[in-house]
Amino acid sequence: MKEFSFKKIDAFATEQSDGNPAGYIALNSLTDISEHEMLRIAKEMKGYVNEVGYVAQVGARDFDLRYYSSEKEVDFCGHATIAIMYDIIRSSKDLADTPTLTINTNKGTLTVFNRIVSENAVFIMSPVPVFKDLLPDTSEIQRVLGLTNEGLDKQFPVSIINAGLTTLIVPVKSLNAILSIKPQMEVLKMFCLKNGIEIIEVFTSDVSNKSNKYRTRVFAPIFGYIEDPATGSGNSALGYYLIENNLWSEEYISIEQNGLRDNFNVVKLQKQTDEDYRQRVCFGGVAVTRIEGKYLIH
């Protein structure tokens, strides 16, 4: 029997919302667990958390991370990263005053910014974006999402950007239109698999709370669930989309996300220049630990 330290943590939660649940297994080394066991735990946690993150500290400020959904390994999972790094920093006296850490993921080495004291948040520099040229037909996008011509905002382009996950970004005209989307799991999954899309993010500037810049919803059927209620990688892709289309002038913006009008989760975005003088998007937020204990594999 193997025994692992386990936490269930909700990322991007607010006083009015539940956040996005992530499982979190702490290891001495990622070699302590097999890929089969990682997937097995994620399958056992289906319906309880959307992804499980596996983390091992490999240096004073350096961590290895891998992520699994109930279906397969996920190259990068923003909400699990927020959950894990927020908890690690909050739980460690050695890291409490450390301004930056690094994480090694399937999408490369990324910087973590510790802003818990100043903003009660951690920020993650998202992977360098990759823009895709080949797009699905607009009418097919409308069909699988159930969007009418009145719902789709045609003054802005549809785009595919990978900032951790290959994300189809779809502009929508109104909050009512975005809240009315009720896609069918298998229809959306077939569409994503056919077009090489990992997640679909719809967005509108019509928001529930005017302190937020945009409302988003994210659908992720290939990972075994229909909707992701708060997303780091998807909203980072949106951030690069906003920069590309001159729709983001401030340094910081906040995104309200999920399918509930008033009880939404909040994801913060920041522009930052990296060491190679490229403009990057950082995503940030808070995390709330709900359960802590041991996970046993027989």
2-126+285-297 shares its CATH topology with 130-281: yes
In Å, how far from its chain's centre is CA 235? 7
Distances (CA, A) of 160 to 60, 228, 237, 252: 37, 18, 8, 23
What pLDDT does residue 77 have? Answer: 97
Using DSSP's 3-state secondary structure scheme, residue 272 falls into strand
CB neighbour list of residue 171: distance below 8 Å, 6 or more residues apart: 152, 153, 154, 155, 156, 157, 158, 202, 203, 204
Residues 146, 182 contacting (CB under 8 angstroms):
yes
pTM exceeding the 0.85 threshold for the entire prediction? yes
Strand duo 121-125 + 108-115: pairing: antiparallel
Q: What percent of the chain has pLDDT over 70?
A: 100
What pLDDT does residue 149 have? Answer: 83
Instruction: Specify the DSSP element, H or E, that contains 109.
Output: strand 108-115
Going 235 to 241 to 246 to 247, the CA torsion angle's sign is: negative
Structure tokens at 21: 């649940």
Residue 169 pLDDT class (50, 70, 90 cuts) = very high
Residue 150 pLDDT class (50, 70, 90 cuts) = confident
What pLDDT does residue 148 have? Answer: 86
What pLDDT does residue 142 have? Answer: 96
CA angle in degrees (0–180, nearest 5) for 7-55-201: 80
Structure tokens at 270: 């920041």
Of residues 291, 235, 229, the one with CA closest to residue 17: 229
pLDDT single digits (tens) 89-101:
999 999 999 999 9
- In angstroms, the CA 255 to CA 138 distance is 25
pLDDT single digits (tens) 10-46:
999 998 899 999 999 999 999 999 999 999 999 999 9
- In angstroms, the CA 248 to CA 70 distance is 35
- In angstroms, the CA 15 to CA 19 distance is 10
| 125: β partners | 282
106-131 average pLDDT score: 97
Q: What's the fold here for domain 130-281?
A: Diaminopimelate Epimerase; Chain A, domain 1 (3.10.310)
Per-domain boundaries in the chain: 2-126+285-297, 130-281
What's the mean per-residue pLDDT of the chain? 96
Going 106 to 201 to 272 to 265, the CA torsion angle's sign is: negative
CATH architecture assigned to 2-126+285-297: Roll (3.10)
135-153 average pLDDT score: 93
pLDDT single digits (tens) 183-238:
999 999 999 999 999 999 999 999 999 999 999 999 999 999 999 999 999 999 99
